[in-house]
Amino acid sequence: MTAGATRRPTAGLWLPDLQRSVDNLFVHKLRTLLTMLGMIFGVAAVLSMLSIGAGAQQQVMAFIEDLGVRNLIVEAHETTEFQAFQKIRQRSPGLSYRDLRAIEASVAGIERATPRKRFLPTQVFPKPEAELPAVYGVDPDYPAIANLRVTSGRFFTDEEAAAAAPVCVLGEAVRARLFGSTSPIGEFLRVNEQWFTIVGVTGPQAVAQTDVAGLPGQDRNNIVYVPTAASMFRLEDNYSPYRDEIDGIYLRLRPGADVTAAAATVRGILQTNHRGADDYALVVPAELLAEQQRTKRIFDIVMVALASISLLVGGIGIMNIMLASVLERTPEIGVRRAVGARQADIIRQFVLETTLIAVIGGTIGLIVGILMSRVIANFAGWSTIVTAGSVVLAFSVSVIVGLVFGVYPAMKAAKLDPVKALHYQ
Percent of the chain topping pLDDT 90: 26
Residues 39 and 146 in one domain: no
Task: Decide: 409 and 333 in contact? Cβ < 8 Å.
Answer: no
Alpha carbons 403 and 183: distance in angstroms, whole number: 62
Q: Is the pLDDT confidence value at 168 over 90?
A: yes
Highest mean pLDDT among 61-65, 83-87, 168-172: 168-172
Q: Is the pLDDT confidence value at 2 over 70?
A: no
pLDDT at 62: 67
Residues 235 and 313 in one domain: no
Name every residue whose Cβ is closer than 8 Å to that of residue 147 and which is 6 or more positions away in sequence: 66, 67, 68, 205
What's the count of helices (H) and strands (E) in the chain, helices before strands?
A: 14, 11
Chain-wide mean pLDDT for the chain? Answer: 80
* Residue 326 forms part of a structural domain: yes
Residues 86 and 59 in one domain: no
* CA distance to 103, 280, 400, 402, per residue, from 248 (Å): 13, 9, 53, 56
Which amino acid makes up residue 22? V
pLDDT at 6: 43
Give CA 406 to chain center in angstroms: 36
Burial (CB < 10 A; 0-12, 13-18, 19+), residue 369, is buried
**422 or 166, higher pLDDT:** 166
Least confident of 26-30, 275-279, 280-284, 367-371: 26-30
Alpha carbons 318 and 315: distance in angstroms, whole number: 5
pLDDT at 268: 93
Highest mean pLDDT among 116-120, 184-188, 377-381: 184-188
Number of domains in the chain: 2
Name every residue whose Cβ is closer than 8 Å to that of residue 235 and which is 6 or more positions away in sequence: 119, 121, 135, 191, 192, 194
* Residue 332 forms part of a structural domain: yes
Q: Which of 389, 384, 304, 358 is nearest to 45 (CA)?
A: 304
Q: Which of 146, 149, 136, 148 is nearest to 196 (CA)?
A: 136
Task: Render pLDDT for 117-135 as a digit per residue (tens, 0 to 9).
Answer: 998 898 899 988 778 999 9
* Residue 72 forms part of a structural domain: no
Query: What is the arithmetic mean of pLDDT over 53-65?
Result: 69
Residues 112 and 253 in one domain: yes
Q: Is the pLDDT confidence value at 182 over 80?
A: yes
Structural domain including 145 reads 78-278
Residues 169 and 262 in one domain: yes
Q: Is the pLDDT confidence value at 209 over 70?
A: no
* Length of the chain measured in residues: 425
Task: Render pLDDT for 363-375 as a digit per residue (tens, 0 to 9).
Answer: 898 899 889 888 8
Highest mean pLDDT among 29-33, 51-55, 171-175, 409-413: 171-175
* Residue 6 forms part of a structural domain: no
